[in-house]
């Protein structure tokens, strides 16, 4: 077999078979297929797409390019959640302990922040001592003994995707639905999970701005899961504005602790409850999604989710006292306000710009080797649809030693205030599973 022929077939829209796709990915992983050949293939996929069969073979080949973890010794249906990412998206932090406290094992492998979006690992690392760099053996032990594990991706998990993602990043082939779907699903399915809940974001701060594109991505990932024998449910959630109030690492942990104590912003609670309800249903501890919602509300208000988070923090080397005493989290005492320049109704808050402002303060990375300042970030004190008066405090920046002037300028420019009233956007779009899509 020649890789040239595989590329040519994709270019000419001829169907590929499983052996050809395995040959391509195996060769790319061991270096016998060159980056320039894989770039040509990715570009051909960008223009010509992939059939459902090709996509599941491609995902499976990437998934098997490295270790495929097994959690067979852990009782119960193992369920994870993946979000396509957003600004202020700290949902994993309250969600994983809450679901685990209801009896569903949650093996969660997360990523770091880059650009305008934050990463769960960076947020967790603002908890003193918290270690996200666990071995595969630790991973199994933690899921078995604690019911949850919050760690980073090991080098051995889906290495073909790691290489391909870096290549796509420099060859204008990131925004391609089959390549995104196979990339996400290959990593998730390598974790040894039985089922997966996807939080697919749409809106101005999301990876996919248009709802239709986000729904196509969701359907594609659900389809891959089905072909690979895993149950996958996708919930579409709106990312036209930052989620919750806090954006920044320790600040987002603090807000997550509020949610684990039964408080916190309504949007964070609503998404945590909805995604958790789906996880409990897939994990077979809730008879219906509605039963799952009730269990989630109970576990967040009676302290069980908070106790589970303490156990997870302790098991991963962190200081569990932060759960009851958030003042142990790193913080800065320097604050700067951004106030409304005029009265009116908030029509837009560009979430991407808020994320970039937080990054400029040191809360995120422009390059993968940048060092994060866990203390800094932005409190967002307004929402789309709010009426504001001139001089109202709209953002509070918690600042360290850099980026303040640029961050303030971006925040001042990221709001659109108009005279007409406006209905706030709805938080949820469709629910998509193997049977199709429907209302929530």
* Contact positions vs ligand URA (CB under 6 A): 165, 174, 179-180, 183-184
- Which residue has tokens 């996708």? 234
C-alpha separations of 296 from 60, 150, 309, 411 in Å: 33, 19, 14, 35
Nearer Cβ to ligand URA, position 62 or 271? Answer: 62
Q: Is 183 a catalytic residue?
A: yes
Catalytic residue, chosen from 10, 64, 81, 82, is: 82
Minimum distance of ligand URA from residue 41's CB (angstroms): 15
Catalytic residue, chosen from 80, 161, 194, 267, is: 161
Minimum distance of ligand URA from residue 160's CB (angstroms): 12
Helices (H), ranges, 125-248:
136-145, 159-169, 177-189, 211-227
Minimum distance of ligand URA from residue 163's CB (angstroms): 12
Nearer Cβ to ligand URA, position 184 or 378? Answer: 184
CA proximity to 312, closest of 152, 135, 149: 149
Nearer Cβ to ligand URA, position 33 or 180? Answer: 180
Catalytic residue, chosen from 39, 56, 60, 183, is: 183
Nearer Cβ to ligand URA, position 104 or 200? Answer: 200
Residues 6+ apart with CB under 8 A from 385: 345, 346, 421, 422, 423, 424
Minimum distance of ligand URA from residue 186's CB (angstroms): 9
Nearer Cβ to ligand URA, position 184 or 380? Answer: 184
Q: Is 168 a catalytic residue?
A: yes
DSSP structure class, residue 328: G
CA proximity to 79, closest of 158, 191, 228: 191
Minimum distance of ligand URA from residue 158's CB (angstroms): 9
Catalytic residue, chosen from 168, 235, 281, 431, is: 168
CA proximity to 416, closest of 370, 341, 347: 347
Minimum distance of ligand URA from residue 184's CB (angstroms): 5
Catalytic residue, chosen from 116, 140, 163, 187, is: 187
C-alpha separations of 258 from 231, 244, 252, 254 in Å: 31, 11, 10, 7
Query: Nearest-CB residue to ligand URA?
Result: 183
Q: Is 161 a catalytic residue?
A: yes
**Residues linked to residue 81 through DSSP beta bridges, in sequence order:** 197
Q: Is 335 a catalytic residue?
A: no
Nearer Cβ to ligand URA, position 179 or 323? Answer: 179
Cβ neighbours of 36 (radius 10 Å): 10
What stretch of H or E contains 417? strand 415-418
CA proximity to 248, closest of 374, 152, 381, 125: 374
DSSP structure class, residue 359: I
Nearer Cβ to ligand URA, position 165 or 428? Answer: 165
Minimum distance of ligand URA from residue 156's CB (angstroms): 16
Alpha-carbon distance of 431 to 266, in angstroms, equals 20
CA proximity to 220, closest of 58, 25, 112: 58
C-alpha separations of 153 from 68, 199, 224, 253, 255 in Å: 12, 19, 21, 20, 25
Question: Active-site positions?
Answer: 82, 161, 168, 183, 187
């Amino acid at each position: 077999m020649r890789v040239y022929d595989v590329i040519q077939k994709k270019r000419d829209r001829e169907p590929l078979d499983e052996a050809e796709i395995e040959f391509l990915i195996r060769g790319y992983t061991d270096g016998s297929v060159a980056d320039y050949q894989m770039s040509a293939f990715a570009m051909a996929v960008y223009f010509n797409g992939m059939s459902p069969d090709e996509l599941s073979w491609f995902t499976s080949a990437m998934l098997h390019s490295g270790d495929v973890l097994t959690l067979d010794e852990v009782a119960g249906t193992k369920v994870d959640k993946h979000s396509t990412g957003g600004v202020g998206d700290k949902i994993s932090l309250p969600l994983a302990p809450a679901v685990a406290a209801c009896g569903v094992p949650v093996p969660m492998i997360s990523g770091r922040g880059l650009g305008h979006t934050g990463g769960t690992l960076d947020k967790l690392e603002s908890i003193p001592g918290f270690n996200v760099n666990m071995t595969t053996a630790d991973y199994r032990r933690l899921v078995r003994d604690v019911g949850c594990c919050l760690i980073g991706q090991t080098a051995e998990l889906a290495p073909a995707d790691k290489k391909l993602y870096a290549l796509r990043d420099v060859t204008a082939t990131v925004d391609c639905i089959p390549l995104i779907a196979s990339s996400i699903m290959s990593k998730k399915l390598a974790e040894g999970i039985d089922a997966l809940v996807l939080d697919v974001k749409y809106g101005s701060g999301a990876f996919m701005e248009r709802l239709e594109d986000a729904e196509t991505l969701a359907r594609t990932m659900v389809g891959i899961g089905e072909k690979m024998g895993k149950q996958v449910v996708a919930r579409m959630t709106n990312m036209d504005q930052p989620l919750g109030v806090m954006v920044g690492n320790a600040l987002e942990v603090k807000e997550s602790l509020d949610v684990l104590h039964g408080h916190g912003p309504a949007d964070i609670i609503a998404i945590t409850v909805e995604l958790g309800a789906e996880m409990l249903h897939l994990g077979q501890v809730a008879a219906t999604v509605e039963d799952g919602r009730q269990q989630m509300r109970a576990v967040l208000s009676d302290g069980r989710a908070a106790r589970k988070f303490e156990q997870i923090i302790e098991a991963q080397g962190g200081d569990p006292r932060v759960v009851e005493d958030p003042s142990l989290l790193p913080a800065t005492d320097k604050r700067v306000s951004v106030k409304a320049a005029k009265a009116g109704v908030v029509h837009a808050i560009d979430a991407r710009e808020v994320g970039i402002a937080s990054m400029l303060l040191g809360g995120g990375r422009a390059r993968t080797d940048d060092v994060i300042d866990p203390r800094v970030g932005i409190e967002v004190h307004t929402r789309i649809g709010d009426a504001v008066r001139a001089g109202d405090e709209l953002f509070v920046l918690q600042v360290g030693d850099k980026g303040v002037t640029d961050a303030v300028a971006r925040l001042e420019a990221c709001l659109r205030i108009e005279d007409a009233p406006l209905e706030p956007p709805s938080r949820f779009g469709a629910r998509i599973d193997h049977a199709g899509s429907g209302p929530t």
